[in-house]
Amino acid sequence: MPWDYDVILPAIDATNYPVANAPKLFISKGYTPDELPSLRAIQAGQTVRIQVLIPPGVASANIEAIPASDNANSKAAIRACAYDAGEYLSYPAKRTSGAFGDGRIYFSDLQPLNADLSLQIYGNGSPINAPATEPRYVYCYCYNPLEAQPLALEQLNISMLVTDSAMYNLWRGQRPWAGGRSSDVDGIDAAPLEHEITPSNNAMLINHPQRQITATQFKPSLSRRGEIPSGSPLSVKLHMDPDPRDAGKAGNYIAVIGWLDKEQHNDLSHMLWQQCIEGEWHPWQGVNFDANGGLEIANMLAYTSATTIVAGDMEFNLGQIHAPEALSSKNRQAYIFIGYQCHEAGVDYAVLTQPIAFAVT
């Protein structure tokens, strides 16, 4: 029998699918009969299909149905599943062949709805379930038998947990309702998601296991410029727009400094390195050249640890500047690098500003 009510919940828009500003995002939407009149009275013999869009990055989703208090003896039934049973509830009511999950759904496949019922509609119930990598719909079916009293729902709640905010934000950012250039509202059957990356002209990507470029943009500003007396306090104000693939990730902010005598002609392989930890400078193994001539990060500690990489303004108070004793007492050149560190595929990588240069007298 065809579906009497066939709805997509929640509505696919920027309110119901908000931007993820942290590594995880919990999305929840509740409906009362005033907000969704079809919940007020599902008549005898009527069927309902609820379609729920699961975006990339979502690891689990639930749907909760709460019958009105006078529906304790309801004969209605409900079932959530990850496949589409088509345009109708199969007849006869009782399954005579096959098994649940074969592409059809029968009344005998459903569960009684005579009390509050929470159904796992996507995922396996574990927060560490691998997130979806492509957008898809999952489904909830309800049927009120011919001999039953009308069914009234007091509340219907839909929730989902985003555990990969970078993947989710990428999908969201391409949707037309979020200002994206794609015409696909849900992204179903669209081309695979790809970042439109313009290489940054003021940021360096170091030691990433897969990427070669970054789209991160930095706008740094030193509290002092030119020649700075040794022992002077120094801070860097930084506006950062992180690479979309890093936005929302857990990571650390980092600050390092490389020292040279001017006579060394900015040869990175001879730099003496320090890192700033809580406003104090400490010796650091530094940026190393690997066997292929590339750069790698070794033993870096955080300026600010266990944070979330987000866009915005921040200030790095770097304490007092003192050149390493191994340098001569004059012609000392310093290069500050500010940025962030994340982890991917078992590797720590860093995104840093191009060197911010000044002389130390």
Sign of CA pseudo-dihedral 347, 352, 354, 359? negative
**Structure-token pair, residue 233:** 């306090």
- Residues paired with 111 in a beta bridge: 78
- At 288 the pLDDT is 62
Q: Which residues, in sequence order, are bridge partners of residue 251?
A: 307
| pLDDT of 196 | 59
User: How far are the Cα atoms of 155, 206, 214, 215 from residue 211, in angstroms, in the given order?
Assistant: 46, 9, 8, 11
49-59 residue pLDDT tens? 899 999 999 99
How far is Cα 63 from Cα 290, in angstroms, rounded to an integer? Answer: 51
* 249 touches 165 (CB < 8 A): yes
Cα distance between residue 284 and residue 157, in whole Å: 52
pLDDT digits (tens, 9 = 90+) for 137-178: 999 888 888 888 888 888 999 999 998 887 888 888 888 898
**Predicted local distance difference test score (pLDDT) of residue 16:** 95
Q: Are 268 and 287 in contact (CB under 8 A)?
A: yes
- Phi, psi for 34 (deg, rounded to 5): -70, -35
Place of tokens 């069927």: 47
Per-residue pLDDT reduced to its tens digit, 228-256: 888 899 899 999 988 888 888 888 898 98
Distances from the Cα of 296 to the Cα of 214, 285, 288, 317, angstroms: 15, 11, 5, 25
Under a CB-based contact definition with an 8 Å cutoff, are residues 295 and 289 in contact? yes
In single-letter form, the type of residue at position 83 comes to Y
Q: Quick one: pLDDT at residue 148?
A: 83
pLDDT at position 106 is: 77
The pLDDT of residue 166: 79
Q: Who has greater pLDDT, 293 or 133? A: 133
pLDDT-derived band at 299 (thresholds 50, 70, 90) equals low
Rounded to an integer, the average pLDDT of 55-70 is: 88
Copy the structure tokens of residue 93. Answer: 């009511």
Asked whether residue 36 carries a pLDDT value surpassing 60, the answer given is yes
Nearest to 81, CA basis, from 39, 111, 115, 43: 111
Q: 173's torsion region: left (phi>0), alpha (psi -120 to 50) or beta?
A: alpha
Q: What integer pLDDT is reported at residue 53 of this predicted model?
A: 96
Summarised one tens digit per residue, pLDDT across range 3-12 is: 888 899 999 9
Tens of pLDDT, residue by residue over 328-342, are 777 888 889 999 988
Between 173 and 60, the higher pLDDT residue: 60
Give the tens place of pLDDT for each residue, 82-141.
Answer: 777 776 676 656 666 666 656 677 778 788 887 788 888 888 655 557 888 889 999 988
Per-residue pLDDT tens over the stretch 200-229: 888 988 888 777 788 899 999 988 878 888
- Average pLDDT of the chain is 82
> Would you state the structure tokens that stand for residue 237, as one six-digit string?
């104000």
Q: Are 245 and 230 in contact (CB under 8 A)?
A: no
* Domains within the chain, CATH numbers bracketed: 5-178 (2.60.120), 203-360 (2.60.40)
